Structure 1
Amino acid sequence: MQLWLIPTFYAAASIVAGVLVPRLEARFLSSGLDLSTSSAQAYLSAVASGMMALTGIVFSIAFVLVQFNAVVYSPRLVVWFARDRLLFHSLGMFVATFMYSLATLAWVDRQGTQGVPLFSALIVAAMLMASVLMLAQLVQRLNNLQITRVLQSLGDTGREVVASTYQKDRWSTAGSAVSMRQHSEDLALTVRHVGNPQSVTSVEIARLIDDARRMDSLVVMECAVGDTLLEGTVILRARGVAGAGFENRLRASIHLGDQRTFEQDPKYAMRLLVDIAIKALSPAINDPTTAVQAIDQIEDLLRRLAKCDLEACRAFDRDGIPRVIYRMPTWEDYLALAFDEIRQFGSTSIQVMRRLRSALVELSACVDSERARTVHAYLGHLDSGIERSGFDPEDRAAARIEDRQGLGLSHRQDENDPARLGGPSERVAL
């Protein structure tokens, strides 16, 4: 549903109610509100004028705050904040209250009857109360723009996407690049993108399986969720009848949008967390503590991803025949996305180095042996970067002490276990 339809629906409903309700009330209800005409007009006029003024002030402040915080955190967060449904419901309620108040005001003392519509006046009061409650919720939502709550919200969204993306499906199992090449030898149909650049927002794997099974075909995805498709970019290849109907059905299973979304894309939540971290590490802001808080959420996402089958890239029909081969990020892809840029931009911060080292050391303890080797190799890369940095010997020793708070509580090791700290001679008191 397009978000602009939400306030449009509120406005249309208020117009319809403003036309029908007072007329029905005038015809079927003989009693009116026990209130003088001047008082009722003052009450309805105050509600209408005040609601429009409130709408302008609240949404001006809201958009300024959203823009300011998005610039501080990441420009990609503008859309995330601006698409909050509460914002559009609040706008709709404010506009509806204004318009219905005007409609009710037109029926006060209509044709000299000296009457005040009872039911319509009560509806205005109820809408006013609803507007106040929505205003309170909106203020609370703006309060959620604090950095800690933004990071927590991004982490929660990422955890939901990881759980939904890597849930156990009856049609998925592990695959390999070799099997993909074997299956792609006799692919005849090539589907390319036509039009302006767009991002892949989601892929309906189940629908692709049904279409491929109906045509006794195999579909190999050449793009992944989150990729930007340009004119002529290959979307997928398929074996089977190269008919326009089959191609159109395959295209309908690939959903495109102007920008990436969280749907089916665990990388996007991690991407935004990394954006916030490296923005905080820029010389203009110089806030390594925010980067450390972002690493907290990133490490949690990696721990959850470590429990998933990241090699699942083939989908089977109910007969066990492979029908779709699709692309998924590997463990190395997630590790590079999570830490490469933070390591590069945070190379001058002892606090960030210590937190990164803590994340890698603890991550290596909760993954299998193959993934642990990748983490240990990355840890060695981090240590070599520390050795090449401009730190003096004492700072290098401090940077190689893992600390979950960055600069808070050193996790000191036994004297006989110098591997993690670089030897007893490099241990420092902080």
Structure 2
Amino acid sequence: MNNILLIPSTLWRKAHAYSQKLWVRVLAMGFLSILSLGLTQLVELFVPEPIMSRVSGEAADRLLDIISSAMLSVTIFSMTVMVSVYRSSASQWTPRVHRLIMRDSRTQKTLAAFIGTYVYALVAIILREMGVFGDDHALVLFWLTVAVLAFVVWSLVRWMLHLQTFGSLLHTTRQVEGITKERFQERLRTPCLGANPLTGDVPEDAQPIKADQSGYIQHIYPEGLNAVAERYDVLLYLPREIGSFVFLHEPLGWLVGDVKDEDRDEFLSLVRGHINVSDLRDYDQDPRFGLVVMGEIASKALSPGINDPGTAIDVITRVGRILSSYSSHDTRRDSHDDGETDSGEEGKGPKLDRLWVPPLSPDDLLDDGFGALLRDGAHLFEVQHRLQATLSGLMRHPDERLQSAAFDFAELALRRALEAMEFEPDRTRLLASVSERLHRSVTQS
């Protein structure tokens, strides 16, 4: 059973998720600090005795005292700044952006460096008091401590430069755009998570695989699920997208095939073990969540207390830039319902041929990124003008599905804006800025 949970692709995904946690980086730096002190004992064996005695133990003690006292203060200060930025960002922009800022790699690396250096100094002082590093064998310890000090200074400079923009609106929107674009490109490079595209209904003879808890589908490990399907000689259909909410005992997926009664509990456990359900959505594997967060930032900026249409316009541009790379064209060969492929077609077939996953829908993507603006910015000409200009660009996109979705969304946005705007010249200007086709569709119906 467990060998499926230990396949390399699944382990890599889980290791990547853990590497983004602060405590993992702190533990790694602490272990590296202790390891470096242990290696000094080996290096000392290759240093000639006359050279070893050139540096006294007191010189190393002074440097270690400086590090131990300074790093504690710097770490406390950095933690205070970090918590303040987390809270202000959650209240100013959106609570959903708080968890992304918590995963800021520069902040995590800096805090891990400070705490790791503090651990290094404490352990070195303890070893000095125990006589492990004698006064006549402190050369390697001294120069290692000098290197640690240089590393601390470099980390402090990076941290001060990072604090100039950390938590600001520009930095936050860039972070959300960056992670969303990265996950979006990842999904485009691996359509349907590497599985077959589920574009129709689930087969009628499919059996439901019910969820054992309520929550959002946070992660899916498709390679492991395909391995499970191969082991039991069945097909798996996952109509629910990553980020969708599933209730207890609702279908988490669908099974086509027969699983023996004595193997059913193990099979269900394996399937549920490869589909993480949690109380929160996550940015990993879920580009739609990033678009939702960007829409929330724009919506919050349009609230009466903030009244910042410029931020909404900036978000519209960023969302349009992300969606401009959309493509529904699958370079892999189309698969039949039985998992086989046409040998005469070009390209590669789906790597995970026993798994079916729905592709990204352009209608959902547009609604995620612009849905909140459609409601909260309907009465503002400058916001709707930029929105229509961005949608007009997407309507010229090479992908036909995105073209159609952008036109439908632009028509909906225009109709709502014309009803929300009270000033007639604004309505006239907005109508004049859209394409003739869209103008005709709205005014003639």
Q: TM-score, normalising length from structure 1?
A: 0.80
Deviation at 1:277, TM superposition (A): 0.8
Corresponding residue for residue 5 of structure 1: 24
Distance 1:112 1:250 in 2: 54
Distance 1:18 1:278 in 2: 52
Distance 1:398 1:169 in 2: 41
Distance 2:41 2:384 in 1: 68
**Residue aligned with 1:304, SS:** coil
Deviation at 1:278, TM superposition (A): 0.7
Distance 1:228 1:164 in 2: 22
AA aligned opposite 2:393:
E
AA aligned opposite 2:267:
F
Bigger Cα displacement from structure 2, 149-158 vs 352-361: 149-158
Distance 2:291 2:99 in 1: 16
The yes-or-no answer on 1:186 pairing with 2:208 is: no
> Which structure ranks higher in relative contact order (CA pairs < 8 Å, sequence separation ≥ 6)?
2
Distance 1:85 1:111, change over 3 A: closer
Residue pair 1:347, 1:389 contacting (<8 A) in 2 also: yes
CA deviation string 1:375-405 (max 9, x = no partner):
3333232222232224211222234454xxx
Deviation at 1:125, TM superposition (A): 1.3
| Higher Cα Rg, which structure | 1
Distance 1:234 1:117, change over 3 A: same
Indicate which of 274, 286, 289 corresponds to 1:265: 286
Distance 1:421 1:141 in 2: 50
Distance 1:368 1:381, change over 3 A: same
Deviation at 1:19, TM superposition (A): 6.6
Corresponding residue for residue 254 of structure 1: 275
Bigger Cα displacement from structure 2, 166-175 vs 78-87: 166-175
Indicate which of 402, 411, 414 corresponds to 1:380: 411
**Structure 2 matches for 1:332-411, cutoff 5 A?**
332-367=363-398, 371-400=402-431, 402=433
Deviation at 1:345, TM superposition (A): 0.5
Bigger Cα displacement from structure 2, 160-169 vs 70-79: 160-169
Number of equivalences = 404
Distance 1:315 1:262 in 2: 32
Distance 1:320 1:210, change over 3 A: farther
The yes-or-no answer on 1:161 pairing with 2:180 is: no
Distance 1:373 1:303 in 2: 14
**Structure 2 matches for 1:211-250, cutoff 5 A?**
211-239=228-256, 240-242=258-260, 243-250=264-271
**Structure 2 matches for 1:50-199, cutoff 5 A?**
50-105=70-125, 107=128, 115=136, 117-142=138-163, 143-167=165-189, 172=195, 174-177=197-200, 180-181=201-202, 183=203, 185-188=204-207, 190-195=208-213, 197-199=214-216
Distance 1:56 1:112, change over 3 A: closer
**Residue aligned with 1:238, SS:** strand
Distance 2:307 2:335 in 1: 44
Residue pair 1:41, 1:108 contacting (<8 A) in 2 also: no
Deviation at 1:123, TM superposition (A): 1.0
Q: TM-score, normalising length from structure 2?
A: 0.77
Distance 1:323 1:56, change over 3 A: same
Distance 1:210 1:50, change over 3 A: closer
AA aligned opposite 1:65:
V
CA deviation string 1:304-324 (max 9, x = no partner):
2255559x9978787449733
Residue pair 2:183, 2:286 contacting (<8 A) in 1 also: yes
Distance 1:138 1:233 in 2: 47
**Residue aligned with 2:281, SS:** coil
**Structure 2 matches for 1:28-39, cutoff 5 A?**
30=49, 31-32=51-52, 34=54
Distance 2:35 2:195 in 1: 51
Deviation at 1:418, TM superposition (A): 9.9
Bigger Cα displacement from structure 2, 154-163 vs 32-41: 32-41
CA deviation string 1:311-342 (max 9, x = no partner):
x9978787449733333442222222222210
Distance 1:245 1:109 in 2: 54
Bigger Cα displacement from structure 2, 351-360 vs 28-37: 28-37
Distance 1:233 1:173, change over 3 A: closer
Deviation at 1:128, TM superposition (A): 1.4
Deviation at 1:238, TM superposition (A): 0.8
Distance 1:251 1:304, change over 3 A: same
Distance 1:13 1:301, change over 3 A: closer
Residue pair 1:205, 1:315 contacting (<8 A) in 2 also: no
Q: Give the root-mean-square deviation of aligned CA atoms.
A: 3.8
Deviation at 1:88, TM superposition (A): 3.2
Distance 1:225 1:298 in 2: 20
Deviation at 1:174, TM superposition (A): 5.0
Residue pair 1:19, 1:103 contacting (<8 A) in 2 also: no
Distance 1:421 1:288, change over 3 A: farther
Distance 1:315 1:300 in 2: 34
